[in-house]
């Protein structure tokens, strides 16, 4: 499971299935994090996320989603409709508590999704979850590894108006198609190690950028667990790339996150 963390000035991800989860949440508060938006990857995480959000009202914001790559302990594999079926009752039961649908999307990494049949299955799973987002007027948090352009085109075809393409690694031209559709793009601390991502960041308007950590993954150093308070790293990097002050990036990305995750505005005031 991951957490979308929205600092007073941003939005981020953090893992929450560790024994020290509550310690991490408390430390995040002390470090200045105002709120966290948590995204799931499979239905086994749903109940725990709801319970945590009940323990941290106005701070931990839940999202449900079935990720395009699943791992039941026997190695990663492409998602199937059976994986989604196990989640359907949870979606219906807790839809009023959710601030977004995610993490959902497409992953066409060749060694994970080698066949056309598997890619078609991913599209079916994604479509049904996009239907939930439209029905409940929720944004979607989207994974698009090795499928940046395909993902954006599919979102547009399905009539999605509110989307966050997290850790987007597609071509700048694909990103600009998403910008035209009104989508947002977020970048984690690991972006500082990827020169290709700099080109994307240069071309995406600041009005379409959010921040993330994707904790516990995608931190500044692979050998270390990523944490939510690393949110300042992508902020400072984006500021450097765009020739802006970090304060300007903080302010803009906070505004963007609250525009995208609109239900947060009510929950933050609880």
The whole-angstrom separation of Cα 253 and Cα 263 is 17
- The domain that holds 6 is classified in CATH as 3.20.20.140
Which residues form the domain of 67? 2-268
Q: Where are the beta strands (DSSP E) in 149-203?
A: 163-166, 184-187
The count of other CB atoms within 10 Å of the CB of residue 9 is 22
pLDDT tens for the chain, residues 1 to 270: 444 444 433 333 334 445 688 888 898 888 888 888 889 999 999 999 999 999 999 989 999 999 999 988 789 999 999 999 989 999 999 999 999 999 999 999 999 999 999 999 999 999 999 999 999 999 999 999 999 999 999 999 999 999 999 999 999 999 999 999 999 999 999 988 877 889 999 999 999 999 998 888 888 888 888 888 899 899 999 999 999 999 999 989 989 999 999 999 888 765
Q: What is the pTM of this model?
A: 0.91
Per the structure, the count of domains in the chain is 1
Half-sphere exposure of 262 (CA within 13 A, CB side): 7
């Amino acid at each position: 499971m991951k957490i979308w963390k929205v600092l007073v000035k941003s939005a981020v991800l953090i893992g929450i299935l560790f024994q020290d989860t509550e310690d991490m949440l408390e430390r995040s508060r002390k470090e200045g994090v105002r709120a966290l938006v948590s995204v799931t990857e499979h239905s086994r995480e749903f109940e725990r996320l709801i319970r945590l959000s009940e323990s941290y009202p106005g701070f931990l914001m839940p999202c449900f989603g079935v990720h395009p790559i699943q791992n039941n302990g026997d190695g990663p594999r492409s998602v199937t409709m059976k994986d989604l079926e196990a989640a359907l009752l949870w979606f219906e039961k807790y839809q009023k508590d959710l601030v977004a649908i995610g993490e959902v999307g497409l992953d066409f990494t060749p060694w994970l999704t080698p066949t056309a049949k598997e890619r078609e299955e991913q599209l079916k799973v994604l479509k049904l979850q996009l239907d939930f987002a439209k029905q409940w007027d929720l944004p979607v948090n989207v994974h698009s590894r090795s499928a940046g352009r395909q993902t954006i085109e599919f979102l547009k075809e399905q009539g999605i108006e509110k989307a966050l393409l997290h850790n987007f690694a597609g071509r700048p031209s694909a990103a600009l198609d998403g910008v035209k559709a009104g989508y947002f793009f977020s970048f984690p601390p690991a972006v500082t190690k990827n020169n290709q991502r700099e080109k994307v960041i240069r071309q995406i308007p600041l009005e379409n950028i959010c921040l993330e950590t994707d904790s516990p993954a995608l931190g500044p150093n692979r050998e270390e667990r990523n944490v939510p308070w690393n949110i300042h790293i992508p902020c400072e990097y984006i500021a450097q790339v765009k020739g802006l002050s970090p304060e300007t990036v903080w302010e803009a990305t906070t505004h963007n996150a609250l525009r995208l995750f609109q239900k947060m505005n009510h929950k933050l005031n609880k």
